[in-house]
Structure 1
């Protein structure tokens, strides 16, 4: 072996030793760490959505997922002959649906609700605007998430005013307020409250 070949062999040996010392192991086989996680939060599979269907009126409610409000398709039952046009009955059905615990498939997708059961809705009191809704508890006593869920759900329903806002108040003489559902509320319901304006009585 001549001098040039000898030096090349020594250099190759030194390079291999240096790589080994750095913890680098050469390989011709690509390393496979497996596929990237594919589970997408706040999205249910088609079979899961189909399992939610049933007899009743199709509706959308806002649930909490990943600290945001996300619409979920539900089927609600509205009793009464004038169910399709009864604003109070529709609002009550949607409120009851919000208070219903998410199904197993919804929980698996990350959905939750902060609306508690037992809250009832009634129509306008004397002197209230005709599109006002009265809750059995003052809206300001609801949690931030629960209030945002109710406002955004009702804003897209027949329970809303003509401008898609929601006029709500508590029982008796509790002040009425006009609430709006905005993109900011939907994206950050825990920190951004629905825009609100006090509604003067029509007395």
Structure 2
């Protein structure tokens, strides 16, 4: 059986929960509280020296880290990861965008807002993060405004799963999504997918 080491409230880990539900794949979920140092233990660092969740462990002991790499590995051979080289490249484009231009702003703002004290010095980062996060959201809105139901092709892919994970809870980070009608419609389409599961709280 597959084993995933993850944290339920993490959007990067939620991606895998969504994918597993879509594919009806069974796995053993090991909850790891990264906020309380559980990703810095020698045991965990032996699995992922980068000290982050999620981590996938196969039955034969092989280990894979990085949420979007795990998405692609698990989705291989399914409709969620296109076989067509161009379509697959477009999916990868959005996965790289999510990790470089989206998650570092929206997820970090969410973390600061939800998990750090009101007087924490990192709260000073929020105005910059919100501004940059809105740039990413506006780019997504513009892409969808061309009549696209999903980010690549006519059906959902791992690109939608990756982007949904932190976009759907962006308001936790101080982002008002009311000005993004195409994004809101897309969020509703993802929620209506068969096998959709909400984020653990």
TM-score, normalised relative to structure 2: 0.32
Is the radius of gyration larger for structure 1 or structure 2? 1
When you count strand as a share of all residues, which structure comes out higher? Answer: 1
When you count helix as a share of all residues, which structure comes out higher? Answer: 2
* Greater RCO (CA < 8 Å, at least 6 residues apart): 2
